[in-house]
Structure 1
Amino acid sequence: MTALSLTVNGDQVSVEVEPRTLLVELLREHLGLTGTHVGCDTSQCGACVVHVDGRSIKSCTMLAVEAEGAQVTTIEGVGARGSLHPVQEAFHETHGLQCGYCTPGMIMSAIDLLKQNPDPNEHEIRDWLEGNICRCTGYHNIVKAVQHAGATMRASVQEVK
């Protein structure tokens, strides 16, 4: 067993894990954060995307011990307490989900995209989300959701100025 200390959704966590434990397993099985989904076990689908130190990663490709000292954010940690993140709200408002299985990974990827590019066009969104598979939709409403969230987030930045 290996002792591990990291911050998950703003909370300091100390846990012992087998060295081979994947980050997704730590989150789901050890910490009970089941919003991060396992869809393929081969890093093809993107259902397991979380943020590690502010960047989106597929948590099925990262060993938990590699997250030692890191700041990890899951879908459960993106909204303010009691309210949805603008990207979560946009997915709801524009019907950017159907079964919902891919949604947490899509949202986590979209948040990272909008942090790096606050006003992406359709091609940029589709290119960024290429590693996230949705088996239910044609991605049209997912793209609309990301565009809607970007507009909302840009407007809120303008209001602060």
Structure 2
Amino acid sequence: MDGERHSAGNSARRRWAFLLCLLLAAIAVAVVSTSGGGKKAAPAPAPTVGEQLRGQDTAAKLPGVGSGADYNSAFDTLSARCQEQGASLGDEVQAVLELLQKNGVTDENRLTVMQHLAATLPAGVGQQQSCAQAGNAYVTKAGQHP
């Protein structure tokens, strides 16, 4: 009788062990499937300054909004010619547009401001100039030709 009890006890322990293993396996599968296998999606890259400027033109419903590539290209060209860089150059473009609008110029947007400013500055390595000064000169010139 002891052998039967011992055998029945081992059988019950084996069943519990088996059920415990199944439970642990189910938990592991649930954790892996909800966490994506430990892999997290890469965060979206931050928008470039050119893309931010385009977004502002789009939000303001200004005429002549170009593509994101147009804005990035114009910003890159202007960056190569200006002492100001990155966000501070974006701020200069914004300031020039605001001054133009204050002076009654309504056919400009951030893209055209970047294109016009770049056209007034020399291209070439070591030739970077102050875009703030170029912007002031552009605003003055544009104000003379309504």
Q: TM-score, normalised by structure 2?
A: 0.31
Q: Higher strand fraction: Structure 1 or Structure 2?
A: 1
Q: TM-score, normalised by structure 1?
A: 0.29
Higher Cα radius of gyration: 2
